[in-house]
Structure 1
Amino acid sequence: MKRIAILGSGLLGGSIALAAQKRVPKLSVSLWGRREKAISDALDRGIKEATTDLAQAVTGADIIILASPVGAMLGILEKASAATSLKDVIITDVGSVKLTPRDTLEHVVKEAGALYIGSHPMAGSEQTGVGASCEDLFEGAACVLTNDFRHPDNEVTKLRTFWENLGCNCYLTSSEDHDRVMARISHLPHILASVGSLVGLKHPDDGKFAGNGMRDTTRVASGHPGMWTEILRRNKAALKEPIEETISYLREMLAMLDDSSDEGVTRLLEEAKTLRDGLQPNGHSTD
């Protein structure tokens, strides 16, 4: 593998470029973005080959990483395919859902003779834009790979090795299982953080009393609303069950408080504590 092209000049795209430059110095790394301002910011951050010229970015790439919003991926890939041959190129993405890009991109990938293998590095921030990118963002982070089209193991290994070189711990699963798990461990927590902000800060002046508990549990609510609307909408089927379970637990807690059931409340909190204490630490939270 000699060259990668990252299509999307946001936080993740910029962080991938910086991390690859630092950790795989022999690899040629290009970053493409639509807006001149974003590309100027990327160059200022030290990304050596940043451009608004899509053909320049993708020509000669062994791996193309779609780092745009999921809804924009198809149009970008179609233009990339028109600009240069994508035969035998590995196409991947960093979307927080995997069924949508898999199904949306399939026909373009097949017509181009390329290979689609999904990626989801579990690293991010409530900050946005290439100016917030970080070369160590992926250190210790999980990265989920999906190979629903059953491409050869050596092709999956190429992509796995790339993410591992950036510091990720990689796991292989299906797109269906990925979206089901993300609904619970990533997308539902964002909803809860947002609801926590709406309820806890109903009277904004109360925020002056907020400690780390409020700040930690609602941090991800500062994420980009438009981006998260797209994620939640595209994974709505998998989100239905965990949202209903959340409502059930809240009703159970309310009933126990009404009944002054110390034993019941303690049992619920102890169960939650045990599960949380068993959570393995990693370098970055899921956003």
Structure 2
Amino acid sequence: MTEFHRIAILGPGLLGGSVGLAVRKRHPEFGVTLWGRSPERVAEIRSAGFEHVTHDLALAVKDAELIILAVPVGAMEELGARLLEVGVAPGTFVTDVGSVKVHPHQSLGQLMRERGIAFIGSHPMAGSERSGFDSAHADLFEGAPCILTNENELSDEDVNRLVGFWAGLGARAAIMSAEEHDRLVARISHLPHVLAVVCALVALEEEGAGNLAGRGLRDTSRVAAGDPLMWTEILLENRHEIIPPLRESASVLERLADLLEGGKSSALTTVLEEARERRQRLKTSG
């Protein structure tokens, strides 16, 4: 699986909890410690069956070879600073699982580099509208893409160690720059979330309309059920990359409205055919 035998996961929510469960299932001989912010949170996770969990940050990262930051985007920098305060040995690997990468590399990544700590961004494309350890499961990453961002000039050997870690959890790694990641993810993840929000707001404006909705609306609006505070942070953090495709979407909607208003059957069919063709490519690319 990987050379990392002692792993600390800071933030046992959906992604962090799933990493812990996946490692425990696939390699029970490895040491995995979860860190939660409060004794109450730790007690909840322990009662759910995960024994190695603590709210003591220094204890959580002691002797860890790989530290995974799995907290919301807005809490990443503060946690990284605390991590350096409690002490992380040079040669330790640190990665995050946030969905925005430029800012973490510019702040957290630079700090880690100055201390001789390897930092590579990770973004497993395996989230859902659910959150929390209760929603975590060991097979979340099976077959899922995981984007790695190496902005700190680490060697291919170092990067491949993290590739091996994610492959050991069933994920398919892709490597790109932080800028390319944020631009791409704005279109394939953040924009769809915004459009799901629009769909929920418009389609369900009339009270009781959802009682008659079929799978189409449920599928299209599903991710709008995600944590509003978390998504506010994500959208604001990556707003410069999200705004252009969002405006493109508004333009496409205006065009569709114009075609309908003008009764342009042929042009409308062309747009729908192009969309179907692109969607079919998505279906066969996974």
| Cα distance in 2 for residues equivalent to 1:108 and 1:16 | 25
Structure 2 Cα separation of the partners of residues 89 and 240 of structure 1? 37
Instruction: Report the Cα offset of residue 282 of structure 1.
Output: 8.3
Are 1:100 and 2:117 matched, yes or no?
Answer: no
Task: Describe how 1:14-163 pairs up with structure 2 within 5 A.
Answer: 14-163=17-166
> What are the within-5 Å matches in structure 2 for residues 159-170 of structure 1?
159-170=162-173
2:74 maps to amino acid: G
**1:278 match:** 281
The answer to whether the Cα contact below 8 Å between 2:10 and 2:70 also exists between their aligned partners in 1 is: yes
1:66 and 1:101, CA in 2 relative to 1: closer, same or farther beyond 3 A? same
Whether the 8 Å contact between 2:197 and 2:224 is mirrored in structure 1 is: yes
2:175 match: 172
SS at match of 2:282: coil
Match of residue 202, structure 1, among 190, 202, 205: 205
Q: Check conservation: 1:9, 1:38, Cα contact below 8 A.
A: no
Q: Is the 8 A contact 2:109 2:152 kept in 1?
A: no
Partner residue of 1:186 out of 148, 167, 189? 189
The one-letter code of the counterpart of 2:250 is: I
Q: Does 1:232 align with 2:235?
A: yes
Give the match's secondary structure for 2:241. Answer: helix
**TM-score normalised by L of structure 1:** 0.95
TM-score (norm 2): 0.95
SS of corresponding position for 1:6:
strand
Counting aligned pairs with the same residue, the percent is: 46
Give the counterpart letter for 2:65 in structure 1: D
Q: Distance in 2 between matches of 1:282 and 1:81?
A: 41
**Aligned partner letter, 1:205:** G
The Cα shift of 1:49 comes to 0.9
- Which secondary structure state, in structure 1, belongs to the residue aligned with residue 208 of structure 2? helix
CA distance in 1, matches of 2:23, 2:239: 33
1:233-282 deviation per Cα after TM superposition (whole angstroms, max 9, x unaligned): 01111112101110111111011001101111111111000000111468
**Alpha-carbon distance in structure 2 between the residues aligned to 1:248 and 1:131:** 40
* Separation of aligned partners in 2, 1:104 and 1:67: 16
Runs of 4+ in 1 over 6 A off after TM superposition: none
Letter in 2 for 1:45: A
Aligned residue type for 1:97: V
User: How far does residue 82 in structure 1 lie from its aligned partner after superposition?
Assistant: 1.9
Secondary structure, counterpart of 1:204 in structure 2: coil
- Measured in 2, the distance between the counterparts of 1:86 and 1:80 equals 11
Structure 2: 5+ residue stretches without partners: none
CA distance in 2, matches of 1:48, 1:58: 16
Cα-to-partner distance string for 1:92-122 (whole Å, 9 max, x where unaligned) = 1000011011112034212321011110000
Instruction: Tell me the C-alpha RMSD between the 2 structures.
Output: 1.4
Q: Which residue of 1 aligns with 2:222?
A: 219
Bigger Cα displacement from structure 2, 114-123 vs 80-89: 80-89
Alignment of 1:248 with 2:251, yes or no, is: yes
* Structure-to-structure mapping, 1:247-266, within 5 angstroms: 247-266=250-269
Structure 1: which amino acid aligns with 2:19?
A: I
Query: How far has the Cα of 1:89 moved from its partner?
Result: 1.0
* TM-aligned CA deviation for residue 18 of structure 1: 0.3
Larger displacement relative to structure 2 (217-226 or 4-13) = 4-13
Count residues with an aligned counterpart: 283
Task: Give me the whole-angstrom Cα distance separating, in 2, the residues matched to 1:141 and 1:45.
Answer: 25
CA contact (8 A) 1:41 1:131 kept: no
